[in-house]
Structure 1
Amino acid sequence: MEDGHKGIRNGDTSTDLQQALSALIENLMKPECLKRELIFALLLTVMEEDEFVLLKDTGETADKYEYLLNKKPATYEATLMLRNYRNLPLKLIGCDLNDIFLIVATIPRLYEKSYSVCFNINEHIKTGKYGLINDFENLDAMFLNFKEKIVIPMKSTILNYHSFPSGNLTGLPDDVFHQIILLLPVKDVLNLSESCKRIHGLVKEDRIWARLYTRDFPDKNKCDAEDWRDAYKDVYAPKQVGRVQLDKNVLRESFQEFGGLPDPLRVFDSRMELLL
């Protein structure tokens, strides 16, 4: 007994005691869970600022703070609606992937419409020695990313569904995108394809290039084309080379008195020319 008391007095067990207390505090506070709770609460605030309203299970409007206090622990799911558009609610769901927090937004009525974004929690919330949260970082970047990937697409989808302009292309149906693409010259089509992944995928569709081919080269017949984009390039390249050569000849005649001037540099009209 004396040796035991002597050990405690000498601090031999202080390390074990500190580790036990740290584990106890961590278990009680659940800092990782708390981080996700805070992130989810912040994102709900961003949604609220952009005219989204939190709903109860009954469909009634819910108070955000009441919802956060009464919801089940480690449950990251909320139902929201864009103000005045109750008939098209959306689900905001958070998924725990270790240090990554995946946020998915979907409109059940439009089941194919869903958007997602991932956050590295440790990049935005800093904890101290015992797992207590003591600082936030890069919240502006997180909010901006969330708005671009979730809020704006969701709002645009809902407004477009109700036939209201949203001032944003995100959320437009594919067939509307197709009509817009077919109204643009090919250089603008290629520029537009670099604006986002979704539009890039739409522009790559073979049926789009089949219609562009028919539109721009009505005198050509390529009904058996296996790749309409390649077929378009095959016709487009000679026409551009011929046009550029004609421009050079005209410029030479216009400036023949200045024989020392070099040929004008070619200006590319579109990214298609860079690909040829």
Structure 2
Amino acid sequence: MKKILYFIAVCIGLLAACKKGDLVESTAYEKISPGDTKYAYLKILNLTPASPALTFYMDGNKFSSALSTLGTENAGYAYNGLFPDLGYATTSPGTHTLTAKIIPTAAADANLEIFSTIINPQAGKYYTVFTTGQYSTTTKKIPSSVMLEDVRPALDTTKVFLRVVNLYNGSPNLDITRDLATGTKMITNVAYGTASDWVEIPNIGPGVTPVVKTFINATGTTNTLIAAGVSLTFTKGRAYTLYMRGIVGNTTYPFSGTIYTTFY
């Protein structure tokens, strides 16, 4: 009994010694400056229709995962899943093997590797890897990918920058217009599997978070892919990627245009 009481007394003494706010995080973290040449910087966007939920690996080591509140890896990056959702993950510069496996809690083909590609990111540079093509339950493979270098534009707190990536399977070349299908062209002639350069959105208007109505047309026409257009909300001082996804003529994976923050 004395031993138990002594233990309790010691605990009370330790708690009393730790004043509110005095708890100290002992883990050492490295502060990474933007463009630090010790690293290369990656985003991964799964744009393969019908893809199962995935975990990505770099040279066999887990690079991404999504956990439930219980710590189980029961989520992942399925079709339209972006990792990380803001900012970039880091890796060492040079040649790597990037692979993906179906998450371990999947009902079918758990832990099966369905994607593999060789990448060669350079020191201090930023990239996005897009998985592409269509997933086949017969071959159980993601057939292809596109890796783009993300060159940071000259950000300004009064401006918004935009680029377009066309990964809409079967897509014609695309134009992006402002306000109307017949409006001012902001970006033109983006072929499937390619990206436009950065453009500054003209006449962005007042306020910190302007909304811009955009139309996505087959190049050289006013044949818009979404009749009502797409209203995009931006934050000034950021650069955004607008990406096209889906499969032409497929009602399960119809055309869609989505934005994410690329730089801020």
TM-score range, shorter chain: under 0.3
> Relative to total residues, which structure has the larger strand share, 1 or 2?
2
TM-score when scaled to structure 1? 0.24
Structure with bigger helix share is 1
